[in-house]
Amino acid sequence: MKTPLHIAFLVLAVLSLSNCGTGVAEIKRTKESQTGLLQDIHAPKKFTYRGQDYTPGYSAHGSNGAIVEYYKAGEGPNQWTSMLAVRRLDQPTTAEAQTKAMADRVSAKGLRFRSLINKKSGETTIDFMLPHSGDLEFNLFRYRPLANGQGVTSFQYIENIPKSRLRSFDGMAYTHKQRIAFFALPFPYLSRTN
């Protein structure tokens, strides 16, 4: 069973904050739903990614942002094989700062990552694989600055690659295919009313 992403990301955020100064910022959750999209969060109702439909299975917001996690049918926060997540962080930071903080955190664990920064658009990306109980967990993030310049929106794809697939697993080809498919998705919106 995989750790719910919102908990895993919170742990990563807290560790990043303690290790990197600026760190990957945490969304303070004051309202949440374990079953779908909160009424006061405005985000896509569905994504189709590589032939699979993903719908909201967790959402939360607070004073500094919001998060929505999307799962395949039959999966959810406590049991998933792959998922998508959209986060909005309403506090002074940049896409580049968030990507750097994530890169610092991954690098501190002795793991490799790949990041790209588009200076013209301000959008950044990072991908990496984390070992987890004999499996690999692939993470791909896109960060984009908010239009008002006072925060970022992130879009994440995460997949568990089971130990049974690792023998014939070509990480370079897999990452390349995921990047092409993920960048074909339009960058999602996320807003909230409160």
Amino acid at 100: K
Write down the pLDDT at residue 194.
66
* CA 127 distance to own-chain centroid: 10
Contact 112, 127 (CB under 8 A): no
Q: Please identify every stretch of the chain with a pLDDT value under 70, giving residue numbers as ranges.
A: 1-25, 194
Contact 140, 167 (CB under 8 A): no
Between CA 173 and CA 125, with CA 156 as vertex, the angle to 5 degrees is 65
Write down the pLDDT at residue 161.
93
Contact 187, 144 (CB under 8 A): yes
pTM: 0.84
- Alpha-carbon span 119 to 193, nearest angstrom: 31
Contact 101, 20 (CB under 8 A): yes
